[in-house]
Structure 1
Amino acid sequence: MRTRICFYLLLLLPLLVYWQTLSHEYGIREDYQFLRIAREEQGELVKVTASHGRPLYGALLETSYALAGQVENLMWMRLLSVGLLVVLAIVLWRQLYHSNWGEVESAALSLGIVFLPSSQFVVGAAACWPQVLTLVLALAGFSAVETEIERGGLKRVVALLGGCMIYAAASLIYQSNVLFALVPITAIFLVRSGREPLNDLKWGGTHLAVMLTGMLLGWLLVQGLFSNGVFEQSGRMALETNPFTKLLWFVLHPLPNSLALYAIADDHFSGVIFYALLALGMIALFYFAFRRVQASGNAVALRKWKIVLFALPFLASAISLVAAERSAGYRTLFALAGLVLMLGFFAVRTLLEGRKVKTHLLYSGYAGVFALVGFVAERQPYLLVAEPQGHEWSLMRGAVLRAGFNKVVRAYVITPTADQRSTTRIYRDEFGVVTSASERAAQEMFKAAVRARFPDKLPRGSAYTVEAGPAEPAAGTYDLVVDMRKLAELRQ
């Protein structure tokens, strides 16, 4: 009965929590452009993403956007993200449960990962579904190795090669998410009894070697494509030249964002109290758990804690640390945030070890925490992604639907500023973003609205041009003016 309850919770809760977001009709900045490119410039998405070292990402995007065709069908791509997150949660749950983690504990951790801000954003952004596929492949690569790692002979060799190939394929989609394999690796590393055929060093070293080798193979393949002129390398693939300022950036942005777990950073500091309390609470939890292990005199357990606390966070962010680009977006934090959450569960387990805690009280505690987490995970992507983006799309689509297209229409979009957004909160380029603030995105949104009204072709004798900018045009200059500054009127 307990197993069935865990399974159905992992299967159904993500869909229930994210349903309002994934079923809402909207697109984000890249959606409008990708819909047009997949329709009019076949192969271009592959070139763009391959220039960043992700050729498979582009192929998956081009196929899915071509099938979607219209903004109203983007919900199926978001639904695919939720489905892949469910697969990730169920597989991780079973993997941890068979590796000395408790069944409910494993299910709670897996569900917690599905509700992280990183998951919230990829559910809200249709273009991010291949990133979730990368997470599933990373877990598959780990499972392939773990299945045979304790055995010898040909089966072990085949498993290691298979895991390496899976990691390599995943790195061609989204490199930073391959490092999510560190979550199950670390979780099992912490609970190993020491009586296994392979000692901890060999076991962990083998897993890390296979993962890093697979990522290296993917990188070498991409470099070969660049050197042969198949794709042109983007300047964004440059390597970091100032490691000290990069470490400072890591401490100020990705690390606290991950420690704060479900409280997202806010450019206007409206939620800074909850953000700071959660981050400090996690640090305190790790500190007290570490002190208890230190006081126990268990040298092996202490050595594991030191490795996990002081080395693995940097490895989980290796791609961001090595790359010159300094993006603090939540979409790049899956590995680090997952590692923090897993270590939080293990810290609670460490502090409760040896104490008599009634099972029903522990389960009730999990239920209470996840009721709150589920509520936050349902509201944040809807209020900061789906609803405001839906406002922009409705405003643009309504203007296009009311316009006459029986001649050449000269259209102009007045772009809003970030202060004219419809949300009360905003964080960098993700939560609360104003798509139409970009002139190019505003033009692409207009084109998508025209295609939604005339899916086959424009009426005979009609055509249109569209320009965008922050300045209000002179009267009579354009036939149709779409004022996106009206978004500010929708702010609650």
Structure 2
Amino acid sequence: MRTRICLYILLLTPLLVYWQTVFHDYGMRSDYSHLRAATAEPGRLVKFYASEGRPLYGAMLETSYAVTSEVSRLKWLRLCSLLLLTLLGLVLWRQLYQSGWNEVQSAGIGLGVLLLPSAQVLASWASGWAQALTLLLAMAGFSAVETEIERGGLKRFVALAGGAMIYAAASLIAPANVLFALVPLAGVLVVRTGREMMTDRSWVLLHLGVLVAGLLGGWIFSQGLLSSGDFLEAGRLLRLETNPFTKLGWFLANPLPNALALFALNDDFHARAIIYWGSVALVLAILYFAYRKVTAKGDEGVKRRWRYCLIALPLLVIGITVVAADRASTYRVLFAVCGLVLVLVAFAFRILVLGEKPRPWLHYPLLALIWGALAYAAHFNSFRLLAEPQGREWDIVRNEVLRANFNQKLRVHLITPGVEDRSTKRIYGDEFGSLSSSDPQVATEMFKAAVRERFGSRPPRESTYPITAGPTAPASGESDLVIDLRRLKSYRE
């Protein structure tokens, strides 16, 4: 009965949380250009993302957007993202439960991963399905190694080689998400009993060695593609960092606090800074006091495992991050780090509050209260800060296109909004509460997408409706149709 309840919760909660977001009619900023490139410029997405070391990602996006073809059908890609994320939660739950976690606690971690801000973004972004697939591949790579790691001979060699190949393939889609393998690694490590054939040190080093080998193999393959001459230059993901110390400072000041805050969003205007930094302080306090309680018991094995999780694994993440020249602190690239923090906080919470044998009258109501609040927050963030504001921008442009007369030459100008014209009170980076049409190129692609949806397979030639876009209104008589996207602020007011 308990297994069924956990299964139903993991299956139904993501659907209830993200259903409204998934089936809302909208697109994110990159969706519009991807839709056009997939149909009008075959091969462009593959070449662009291959230059960044993600050739499989480009191929997946080009295929899926070509099939989708319209903004109104992007919901099916978002649904695919949601189903893949749900499967990720189920796989993580079973992996942790089989490794020694309590069944309810392991299900709670799986559900928590599905409610992270990173998961909220992937479920809301049509291109997120490929990144969600990378997370599943990272889990598959870890499971492939873990299944045979305690054995010797040919079986272990095949498992290690298979795991490295899975990691390498995943790195050609979304390299940052391959590090999600550290989440089950930490989850299994903290509950190891010490009676296993391999020592903790050997076990950790072998897992990390396979992970690094897979990432290195994917990087070498990408370099080989660049050397073929088909791509002009390497994107930021393939370049090495030239200022590692400044990069380290950037990581400690931006991505790390976002990960430590877990479910609290980092507002660009610091409107709720007390909640954000309070969450960071609470997480650090939980980890600190749990470590103190563990060290007080004098169990060297447990203390050693905690040091691996609190020092060695974060150092690996920092090292890989510092080496790459990319400096993105958006939630969609922080899935692995946030998941690692979540596992450690869950184990620390078990040590501090629940104990080895938690009391049912305290255990289940407490978990239900926590996950219920987090589910509501995930629904609010994904719909109110992602789907709804993006849908408002799309509605303004699409409604103007539906009313426009294309029987004669139509000069179009889109007045792009600034941050002050946003429709939401809160905003973070280029994700939660952000504007897509503030970029003139995105606004232009949005108009073209609306034209394609109106006329189907036989839209008017682009030369019959020349488009300009910018933050200022055109001079009198220069445009036949002016779309003022600055009126988005009326929703906020």
Matches within 5 A, 1:449-460: 449-458=450-459
Task: Verify the 8 A CA contact 2:122 2:129 in the aligned structure 1.
Answer: yes
Give the AA of the match of 2:94.
R
Task: Verify the 8 A CA contact 1:32 1:445 in the aligned structure 2.
Answer: yes
Q: Name the SS for the 1:468 alignment partner.
A: strand
Aligned to 1:346: 347
Aligned to 1:173: 173
Change (3 A) 1:221 1:459: closer
Deviation by residue 1:245-299 (Cα, 9 ceiling, x = unmatched) = 2222111111111111111100111121111111111011011001111211112
Q: Name the SS for the 2:329 alignment partner.
A: coil
Give me the whole-angstrom Cα distance separating, in 2, the residues matched to 1:32 and 1:318: 35
Aligned to 2:441: 440
Matches within 5 A, 1:242-281: 242-281=243-282
Determine if the alignment matches structure 1 residue 160 to structure 2 residue 195: no
Aligned to 2:492: 491
Shift of residue 204, structure 1, vs aligned partner: 1.3
Shift of residue 404, structure 1, vs aligned partner: 0.4
Deviation by residue 1:328-371 (Cα, 9 ceiling, x = unmatched) = 10111111100000000110122247576412311110000000
Deviation by residue 1:194-222 (Cα, 9 ceiling, x = unmatched) = 11111111111111111111111111111
Aligned to 1:31: 31
Task: Verify the 8 A CA contact 2:142 2:185 in the aligned structure 1.
Answer: yes
Q: Name the SS for the 1:474 alignment partner.
A: coil
Aligned to 1:478: 479
Normalising to structure 1: TM-score of the pair?
0.97
Shift of residue 316, structure 1, vs aligned partner: 2.9
Give me the whole-angstrom Cα distance separating, in 2, the residues matched to 1:318 and 1:59: 29
Structure 2: 5+ residue stretches without partners: none
Task: Verify the 8 A CA contact 1:81 1:122 in the aligned structure 2.
Answer: yes
Give me the whole-angstrom Cα distance separating, in 1, the residues matched to 2:83 and 2:296: 44
Matches within 5 A, 1:81-480: 81-236=81-236, 237-352=238-353, 357-458=358-459, 463-480=464-481
Shift of residue 242, structure 1, vs aligned partner: 1.9
Deviation by residue 1:368-418 (Cα, 9 ceiling, x = unmatched) = 000000000000011111000000000000111111010111111111111
Q: Name the SS for the 2:59 alignment partner.
A: helix
Shift of residue 459, structure 1, vs aligned partner: 5.7
Shift of residue 79, structure 1, vs aligned partner: 0.6
Change (3 A) 1:235 1:456: closer
Task: Verify the 8 A CA contact 2:350 2:356 in the aligned structure 1.
Answer: no
Deviation by residue 1:58-85 (Cα, 9 ceiling, x = unmatched) = 0000011001110000011111111000
Give me the whole-angstrom Cα distance separating, in 2, the residues matched to 1:300 and 1:241: 39
Change (3 A) 1:203 1:461: closer
Give me the whole-angstrom Cα distance separating, in 2, the residues matched to 1:343 and 1:174: 24
Structure 1: 5+ residue stretches without partners: none
Task: Verify the 8 A CA contact 1:406 1:461 in the aligned structure 2.
Answer: no
Deviation by residue 1:33-63 (Cα, 9 ceiling, x = unmatched) = 0000001000000011111000000000001
Task: Verify the 8 A CA contact 2:113 2:339 in the aligned structure 1.
Answer: yes
Give me the whole-angstrom Cα distance separating, in 2, the residues matched to 1:105 and 1:26: 36
Q: Name the SS for the 1:412 alignment partner.
A: strand
Give me the whole-angstrom Cα distance separating, in 2, the residues matched to 1:354 and 1:217: 42
Q: For this pair of structures, how many residues does the alignment match? A: 492
Give the AA of the match of 2:65.
Y
Give the AA of the match of 1:155.
K
Shift of residue 306, structure 1, vs aligned partner: 1.8
Point out the more displaced range, 44-53 or 237-246: 237-246
Give the AA of the match of 1:65.
Y
Point out the more displaced range, 48-57 or 156-165: 156-165
Give the AA of the match of 1:117.
P
Shift of residue 474, structure 1, vs aligned partner: 1.3
Give me the whole-angstrom Cα distance separating, in 1, the residues matched to 2:250 and 2:39: 39
Shift of residue 309, structure 1, vs aligned partner: 1.1
Normalising to structure 2: TM-score of the pair?
0.97
Give me the whole-angstrom Cα distance separating, in 2, the residues matched to 1:359 and 1:179: 34
Shift of residue 462, structure 1, vs aligned partner: 8.7
Q: Name the SS for the 1:126 alignment partner.
A: coil
Change (3 A) 1:365 1:123: same
Determine if the alignment matches structure 1 residue 52 to structure 2 residue 52: yes
Shift of residue 461, structure 1, vs aligned partner: 12
Give me the whole-angstrom Cα distance separating, in 2, the residues matched to 1:455 and 1:372: 43
Task: Verify the 8 A CA contact 1:409 1:462 in the aligned structure 2.
Answer: no
Give me the whole-angstrom Cα distance separating, in 2, the residues matched to 1:361 and 1:344: 18
Task: Verify the 8 A CA contact 2:194 2:301 in the aligned structure 1.
Answer: no
Identical-residue share of aligned pairs (%) = 54
Q: Name the SS for the 1:482 alignment partner.
A: strand
Give me the whole-angstrom Cα distance separating, in 2, the residues matched to 1:292 and 1:484: 56
Change (3 A) 1:32 1:355: closer
Shift of residue 230, structure 1, vs aligned partner: 2.9
Give me the whole-angstrom Cα distance separating, in 1, the residues matched to 2:393 and 2:244: 40
Task: Verify the 8 A CA contact 1:182 1:316 in the aligned structure 2.
Answer: no
Q: Aligned-pair RMSD on alpha carbons?
A: 1.5
Shift of residue 431, structure 1, vs aligned partner: 1.1
Aligned to 1:5: 5
Point out the more displaced range, 22-31 or 145-154: 145-154
Task: Verify the 8 A CA contact 1:317 1:335 in the aligned structure 2.
Answer: no
Change (3 A) 1:105 1:340: same
Point out the more displaced range, 389-398 or 127-136: 127-136
Shift of residue 87, structure 1, vs aligned partner: 0.8
Give me the whole-angstrom Cα distance separating, in 1, the residues matched to 2:443 and 2:353: 54
Task: Verify the 8 A CA contact 1:407 1:462 in the aligned structure 2.
Answer: no
